[in-house]
């Protein structure tokens, strides 16, 4: 089978991607944080970030096109120009990691991202000018080197004054453009094996049905209930990955 996975494993990945897209559709982020929990045991930690990155090249452009009228083009251009070189450096740095190093990196990220999300929400920092540019540069490195950094970009855009569909649309446009650079570096330096391409396409293909399901589910559960379960799952997954790295 593709990526040396059985049909049952591919179906499991598709189901997990569908569920992750539902989470992303409700919370506005989270797809890149949940997929490593399923993919690491199947394809190894070092292949997870490149595969998730390629999958995002399918879902992000579709979201950007859907909400194209709400894109803040000026802020999108600023973020892309500031983040692009850092994204390239972060992506290249990731290609140098060993399997254990990738496990530790992803595990730490999953654990840290939950309190970071709450901290960013409470601080309510306002970004403009040099602060906005600097935050964009820092985000670029994180995006190149790690999965699931959408919460950071969303926080930056909201701190810059965007809200509602503007955040969703501008986030999608920025992620799509930077994703091309990131994925290109992964592929160019051999971190994205070609037998993983189908797997990435499969994950990306779940974006549309997952988003439609999220719209239906969001009307039946409170955001607090959803986010509580999401936080527990992410931290637990990070602890498991770190445990694997230590005992590998």
| pLDDT tens-place string over residues 96-153 | 876 677 667 777 776 776 676 677 667 676 778 888 899 899 889 988 887 767 778 8
Are 72 and 172 contacting, i.e. CB atoms less than 8 angstroms apart?
no
Cα distance between residue 120 and residue 124, in whole Å: 7
Q: How many CA atoms lie within 13 A of 70 on its CB side?
A: 16
Instruction: Output the pTM of the full model.
Output: 0.74
**Confidence bin at 39 (pLDDT 50/70/90):** confident
Predicted local distance difference test score (pLDDT) of residue 1? 43
Look up residue 174 and give its DSSP letter.
H
CA-based nearest residue to 3, from 201, 159, 143: 201
Cα distance between residue 169 and residue 129, in whole Å: 21
Give strand ranges (E) for the chain: none
Are 30 and 226 contacting, i.e. CB atoms less than 8 angstroms apart?
no
- The residue with greater pLDDT, 235 or 53, is 53
3-class SS shares of the chain: helix, strand, coil, % to 5: 85, 0, 15
**Residue 163 burial by Cβ neighbours in a 10 Å radius (0-12, 13-18, 19+):** exposed
Average pLDDT taken over every residue of the chain: 77
């Amino acid at each position: 089978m593709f990526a040396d996975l059985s049909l049952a494993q591919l179906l499991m990945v598709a189901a997990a991607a569908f569920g992750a897209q539902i989470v992303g559709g409700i919370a506005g982020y989270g797809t890149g944080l949940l997929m490593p929990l399923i993919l690491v045991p199947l394809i190894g930690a070092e292949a997870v970030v490149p595969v998730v990155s390629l999958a995002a090249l399918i879902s992000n452009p579709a979201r950007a096109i859907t909400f194209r009228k709400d894109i803040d083009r000026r802020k999108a251009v600023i973020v892309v120009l500031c983040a692009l070189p850092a994204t390239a450096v972060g992506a290249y740095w990731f290609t140098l990691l060993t399997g254990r190093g990738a496990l530790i990196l992803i595990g730490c990220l999953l654990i840290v991202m939950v309190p970071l999300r709450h901290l960013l929400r409470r601080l309510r920092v306002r970004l403009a000018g040099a602060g906005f540019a600097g935050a964009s540069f820092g985000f670029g490195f994180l995006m190149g080197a790690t999965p699931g950094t959408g919460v950071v970009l969303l926080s930056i855009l909201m701190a810059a004054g965007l809200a509602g569909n503007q955040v969703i649309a501008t986030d999608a446009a920025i992620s799509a453009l930077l994703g091309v650079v990131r994925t290109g570096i992964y592929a160019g330096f051999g971190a994205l094996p070609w037998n993983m391409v189908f797997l990435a396409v499969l994950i990306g293909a779940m974006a549309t049905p997952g988003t439609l399901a999220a719209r239906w589910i969001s009307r039946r559960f409170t955001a607090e209930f959803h986010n509580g379960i999401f936080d527990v799952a992410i931290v637990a997954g990070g602890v498991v990955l770190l445990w694997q790295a230590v005992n590998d």
